[in-house]
Structure 1
Amino acid sequence: MSNDRQRAGGFADGSSVVVEELELRLASEDDHGWIHRLRHEVYARELGQHVPNAAGLLTDDLDGSNVYIVAARHGEPAGFISVTPPWVGRYSIDKYLRRHEHPALREDGLFEIRILAVDPSRRGELIGKLLMYAALRWVMAHGGRTIVALGRVELLPTYLALGLASTDTAVRSGSIEFQLLTGDVAELTDRTLRQHGALLRDLQRKVGWRLEVPFLPEDAFCAHGGASIEALGRGFDTLDAHRDVVPADVLDAWFPPAPAAVAALTDGQEWIARTSPPAQAGGLIEEIALRRGIPEAAVAVGAGSSDLIFRAFRGWLDASSRVLLIDPCYGEYAHVVERVIGCRADRFPLRREQGWRIDPERLARALREGYDLVVIVNPNNPTGVHLDAAELRKVLAGAPGGTRFWIDEAYIGYAGAGQSLEPYAAEADNAVICASLSKMYALSGLRAAYLTAPPAIAAELRSWTPPWAVSLPAQIAAVNALRDPAYYAAQWAQTAVLRAELAAALAATSEDLHVSESVANFVLLTLPRGGHGAAQLVERCRRRGVFLRDLSPSSPAFEGRAVRIAVRDATANARVVTAVAEALRVPLGMA
């Protein structure tokens, strides 16, 4: 992979090297000529992996599919690295190895890092390691979880120092011997930041970073939407500006809470603000049980779904647990399972060409592997596809013993009557239903949610719940909201109308766009291959005060081309359509 002959070790080996005027960016059409010449110079003439040719150019059949990241100083080429993403459908390693014979190559969604070359006059200047770091950041920004690479044997200490692991699988190409290397993207990132965070923060100020991903990861938490609220100021002193922003990056309701909920909060706001809530939220539990037709003993409440997820998963799982996650799905689950708890998570991949549908028969077969917990978001976020309750109930009933299901029904109200599995969960012994009151009931800012489970499991969760977990405003508003089902039914019906209008208007902006309505309160916009990327579209719309959600980091299945757009009111939706149309009219390569 690399020809950058630096000492084995991390970034610190070149920390004294000046990197001003060094720019890292995605390759343009104009870069391909020098890339092919440098490849020939390094891999044919210098290393002898290929036979030199008279043209002095080295190409292969993946050139049109690979992503090239280039480094240039003062405008002059200094080096490049290439990434083969999984949506290409093949890798360079396929020329040497059968993937099914190697455990490291069997995972879905692999990214291959290949062809790192640095101009001989620029070696030893950190360029090679910065290119590898840039490739890692690009992979993470596109949902990558695992990378593979063929690394030259003589440079193996360098790769191991960077956090890659050898599989002890040797490959020979021409006169060069390689080893198959692999790495977990999150672990590689964590290791790099732990060991070289100070240097990277210094380099951030000096390197011209032109990739559509931040130079440094923003934080150690799960990435969510919400840039729209952050844009109003961290100190909450510019909140009036929310009227100028279209927050279509989060799935908060476009409509207000039920009138009775608003009135209860408004009329008693001074008293509510200074008064402690009922410690165990008994009144809220009673109202939930009444409205849902389930026993109170089967209900546990929390300050939003995330509160329940963190408490339940940390109580049920440990590093030895096996979890199955739908992919793509709500990112908090992978974060808690893999980053907070540190256990193994397998993915059940959904396919774009199959309409992102969960195939019940394929899911039932996957369950034979044996899992402690299976997480299903239904309707799914961010694909917006719903699996009928009857089909899902069959999967649950036929699952191997000892399998527990966590069914997230945050948007089930949009799927229609009779689609919730809460009655099933209250009686069966293998399912827990998590239901948010935030999105469907326009109470996102108040944080209220509940789960339905067999009484023993619900009691367990209640025992792990601190007193006063759900605030008094949240309890009051939620109780009043639950008492007005007619109001919300009307709002959900109007959401469907607005959603259809938004989808049609977006589709009309370009015949190359693919717009899926979803079952819930958003649409999924997929950009054509070879055109604008999701990150670029989102950034251009943001400059117009319109915030959308780039889905690239959540799963490689989106190929960096998918944007989720929340349904807002008619006026805001019109602003979204205008912003998207204007952004797509800007030629590629322009800001």
Structure 2
Amino acid sequence: MGRDLQVRAATPEDLQWIHELRHRVYAQELGQHAPNPGGRLRDGLDGDNVYLVAARGEARIGFVSLTAPWVGRYALDKYLTRDELPLLDEDDLFEVRILTVEPRWRATGAAPLLMYAALRWIAARGGRRVVAMGRTELLDMYLAAGLRPVGRTVHSGALTFEVLTGSVTELTKLARDRYATTLERLRSAVDWRLDVAFAPRPDGCEHGGASFTAIGTDFRTLQRRHEVVAADVLDAWFPPAPGVRAALAEDPAWAARTSPPTDAEGLLAEIATARALPVETLAVGAGSSDLIFRAFGQWLTPDSRVLLTDPGYGEYAHVTERVIGCRVDRFRLRREDGWRIDPARLSAAVASGRYDLVVVVNPNNPTGRHAPAAELRSLIADAPARTRWWIDEAYLGYVDPAESLVGLAATDPRAVVCTSLSKMYALSGMRAAYLVAEPATAAQLRRRTPPWPVSLPAQLAAVEALRDPAYYRDCWERTHVLRRQLAADLAGLDEALVVEEAVANFLTVTLPSDGPSAAQLVAECRRHDVYLRDLSPLSSEYRGLTVRIAVKDTAENARIVAACRTALDVLRPGADSLLAMPTGVPAAGAAR
């Protein structure tokens, strides 16, 4: 396989060849279906399936078929009921089918490449598990790929199939480990035409945005910051308060060379005053991620069971699943419900007492929806005593400080509130955050906190920010005005776009199902130095069609709208555009 090897989503011309190859293999060669005079074998899911094709030059090599959960049915439904195979009712399950390779290419790496492409496509659409039917005579090959039997066998024509399943993350890791040399060679050789990066990040999570890669992570081209619109992260569009800027400018050399107060005593005291909390209920960290890693690493083990809202801030899934290895369930939020938490449904999910931790981001990122404090208080009060609730209030200032649960967290050992000062106070670069818990829990966490958890510049900045609430209230109010205008301007680009703005400093735009994918829109906007966040990997509920856009100032919002307008023009069916995702572009993720 040379540099003319290509992996792509099937074209209409490819579909004709797929039907012919399926007939040659599954009717004439294997006897699963009766041959037909037309020499083509179609499928009842053809209109809903996604086909990925491998080709070399003009020669098509093979294909794989994918059925997404939003289709509402799978090929396996023809053989087994949902009672017989409950796996089919999982929210994030994708069916991988009919991986078929032309006879002359079967001794090559075509099949592993197609399976790897399928896993990457599925991961980019929020898929977490796959199900497949594997021919029993090839069972060893499927087992070697990491798939495992579920204990069900089906028969079709002359063939017998074993029903197999596997985790997308584990299968991808195994593929990259087992075929590392081949995949690395292909990475530079293949013309990767899919709208997902060839390789995921090593840790599987995208922390922060891709926009800093355009500015330059080596800091040699910082002037690029004036050219790049970083709407893929939720940093504030406004500067920090005047007192913050003055404190940092007064003696930066001293602030840089001087060790800060060991335990951030002054910052803790300022937080206690600003929030009317006992100082012994507080712990600080270098951003909310620091607190998440530290607290969860102390409280949870691989035997712990955790419930996360879905969609939700991706750092929680990363820490619980990939770092600690907890057993994680999802509480699915749905577009038809306005992405809101149904308190009765959540209460029922938690009532069993099987969860050690429930995580609620409020307002939620990325949906922007806010759950009333009264509802959450009732949920926590009614939940089993063994279940701890982690409430992330990073964006609560955009709603109402009175909606905070810090008062409850300061007295109830079942509740912990985490609040970042980064986004609300324009201090993302400083890295400062705090959590509130009853005194014994907070003290336990402080004992696991190393000295100097927050830098001196960050402590100076955070203290001054907390002393100027009027400045920030004005900024937050102006953010609402900017968001509403941005939403109206984006909605005016195309009546088929679904713009949802909710309550925080961001909004989402969902593309029509017959148009470009979110990844394609993101890639095209990057050509104009406008960076958006593709939400597809967060949840299959987004169906690969939704982007999140941070609210910026008036000028940058205008650039966002202009870039989206141009991108949509380029990506409309029939327009000439490069729809591939470059192999070096990082996969979209879930960070703030």
Given the two structures, how large is their TM-score scaled by the length of structure 2? 0.95
Partner Cα distance (1:303, 1:130) in 2: 41
Q: How large is the RMSD of aligned CA atoms in angstroms?
A: 1.1
SS at match of 1:129: helix
Query: Aligned residue for 1:10?
Result: none
2:238 corresponds to which of 255, 261, 270: 255
CA distance in 1, matches of 2:422, 2:180: 37
Q: Which residue of 2 aligns with 1:4?
A: none
Partners of 2:389 and 2:330 lie apart in 1 by 15
Question: Aligned match of 2:430 in 439, 446, 461?
Answer: 446
Number of the residue aligned with 2:268: 285
User: For the residues of structure 2 that align with 1:463 and 1:278, how far apart are their CA atoms?
Assistant: 16
Q: Name structure 2 gaps, 5 residues minimum.
A: 579-592
Match for residue 547 of structure 2? 563
Q: 1:515-530 alignment to 2 at 5 Å?
A: 515-530=499-514
Secondary structure of the 1:323 match is: strand
CA distance in 2, matches of 1:299, 1:80: 56
Distance in 1 (CA, whole Å) between partners of 2:29 and 2:2 is: 26
Q: Aligned equivalents of 2:275 and 2:127: distance in 1?
A: 40
Which SS does the other structure have where 2:519 is aligned?
A: helix
Match of 2:532 among 543, 548, 553: 548
**Matched residues in 2 for 1:142 and 1:424: separation?**
37
Q: Structure 2 residue aligned with 1:465, among 444, 449, 458?
A: 449
Please, which moves more after superposition, 51-60 or 257-266?
A: 51-60
d(CA) in 1 for partners of 2:577 and 2:32? 38
The one-letter code matched in structure 2 to 1:166 is: P
Quote how far apart the aligned CAs of 1:551 are.
0.5
Deviations 1:274-309 (A, max 9, x none): 000011001111111111111111100000000000
Report which stretch shifted further, 346-355 or 185-194: 185-194
After TM superposition, the structure 1 = structure 2 runs for residues 75-86 of structure 1, keeping only pairs within 5 Å, are 75-86=58-69
Aligned to 1:189: 172
1:119 shift after superposition: 1.3
Distance in 2 between residues matched to 1:483 and 1:221, nearest whole Å: 39
> What secondary structure, in the 3-state scheme, does the structure 1 residue paired with 2:410 have?
helix
Q: Per-residue deviation at 1:128?
A: 1.4
Paired with 2:481 and 2:381, the residues of 1 have a C-alpha distance of 35
Residues 267, 273 of structure 1: alpha-carbon distance in 2 compared, 3 angstrom cutoff:
same
Which of 359, 371, 391 is matched with 1:387 structurally?
371
Deviation string 1:82-114 (CA, Å, 9 cap, x unpaired) is 111111111111111122333543422101001
**Which residue of 190, 201, 206 maps to 1:223?**
206
- Aligned twin of 1:480: 464
Matches within 5 A, 1:30-179: 30-179=13-162
Moved more, 50-59 or 474-483: 50-59
Post-superposition offset of 1:571: 0.3
**2: CA distance between counterparts of 1:476 and 1:96?**
65
- Contact 1:285–1:301 at 8 Å: present in 2 too? yes
Q: Which amino acid aligns with 2:277?
A: I
Task: Determine which of 194, 213, 219 is the counterpart of 1:211.
Answer: 194
Give yes or no for contact 2:91–2:540 (8 Å, CA) kept in 1.
Answer: no
Work out which of the residue numbers 515, 519, 533 in structure 2 matches 1:531: 515
> Is residue 214–residue 224 contact of structure 2 (8 Å, CA) maintained in 1?
no
Kindly state the Cα deviation for residue 448 of structure 1 after the two structures are TM-superposed: 0.2
Cα shift readout 1:432-487 (whole Å, capped 9, x = no counterpart)? 00000000000000100000011111111101110001000000000000000000
The answer as to 2:482 corresponding to 1:498 is yes
Q: For 2:204 and 2:148, locate their aligned partners in 1 and report how far apart those are by CA, in whole Å.
A: 25
Tell me the secondary structure at the aligned position of residue 370 of structure 2: coil
1:428 aligns with 2:412: yes
- How far apart, in 2, do the equivalents of 1:536 and 1:404 lie? 40
Structure 1 residues 285 and 490: CA distance shift in structure 2, 3 A: same
Q: Which amino acid aligns with 1:400?
A: P
User: 1:332-343 to 2 correspondence within 5 Å?
Assistant: 332-343=315-326
Distance 2:87 2:490 in 1: 41
Per the alignment, residue 12 of structure 1 pairs with none
**1:423 is aligned with what amino acid?**
G
Q: Percent identity?
A: 59
Q: Distance in 1 between matches of 2:333 and 2:452?
A: 39
Matched length: 574
Bigger mean CA offset, 117-126 vs 302-311: 117-126
Instruction: Out of 248-257 and 75-84, give the one that drifted further.
Output: 75-84
Distance 1:502 1:111 in 2: 35
Of the candidates 553, 577, 580, which is equivalent to residue 590 of structure 1? Answer: 577
8 Å CA contact 2:490, 2:499 repeated in 1: yes
Aligned residue for 1:182, secondary structure, equals strand
Equivalent pair of 1:48/1:176 in contact (CA under 8 Å):
yes
Q: Deviation per CA, 1:519-546: give whole Å up to 9, x if none.
A: 1000110001121100000000000010
Q: Return the alpha-carbon distance in structure 2 between the equivalents of residues 444 and 108 of structure 1.
A: 34
1:35 aligned counterpart, secondary structure: helix
1:20 is displaced (CA, Å) by: 3.8
CA contact (8 A) 1:225 1:549 kept: no
Deviation at 1:32, TM superposition (A): 1.3
Residues of 2 paired with 1:219 and 1:26: CA distance? 25
The CA deviation string for residues 22-62 of structure 1, in whole angstroms up to 9 with x for no partner, is 21101112211111111111111111111111111111221
Q: Secondary structure at the match of 1:51?
A: coil
Alignment check: 8 A CA contact 1:312 1:461 kept: yes
Question: For residue 325 of structure 1, what is the amino acid of its counterpart?
Answer: L
Query: Aligned residue for 1:580?
Result: 564
Q: 1:86–1:109: 8 Å Cα contact kept in structure 2?
A: yes
Q: Which amino acid aligns with 1:65?
A: D
Give the superposition deviation at 1:19. 4.3
Summarize the alignment of residues 299-314 of structure 1 with structure 2, pairs less than 5 Å apart. 299-314=282-297
Match of 1:320 in 2: 303
Secondary structure at 1:492 match in 2: helix
Q: Distance in 1 between matches of 2:351 and 2:84?
A: 22
Contact 2:507 2:549 in 1 (8 A): yes
User: For residues 176 and 447 of structure 2, what CA distance do their matches in structure 1 show?
Assistant: 37
TM (norm. structure 1) is 0.96
Please tell me the residue identity of whatever aligns with 2:410.
A
- 3-state secondary structure, aligned to 1:400: coil
- Identify the residue that residue 362 of structure 2 maps to in structure 1: 378
Give me the whole-angstrom Cα distance separating, in 1, the residues matched to 2:303 and 2:351.
18
Q: Does 1:413 align with 2:397?
A: yes
Report how far residue 221 of structure 1 moved: 4.6
AA at the equivalent of 1:560: G
Offset of residue 174 of structure 1: 1.1
Question: Whole-Å Cα distance in 1 between the matches of residues 293 and 164 of structure 2?
Answer: 34
Query: How far apart, in 2, do the equivalents of 1:106 and 1:166 lie?
Result: 17
Q: Which residue of the partner structure matches residue 455 of structure 1?
A: 439
Greater relative contact order (Cα 8 A, min sep 6): structure 1 or 2?
2
Secondary structure of residue in 2 paired with 1:31: helix
CA contact (8 A) 1:100 1:106 kept: no
Q: Partners in 2 of 1:98 and 1:105 — Cα distance?
A: 9
What's the CA shift for 1:251? 0.0
Deviations 1:358-414 (A, max 9, x none): 101100000023200000100000011110111111111110120000010000001
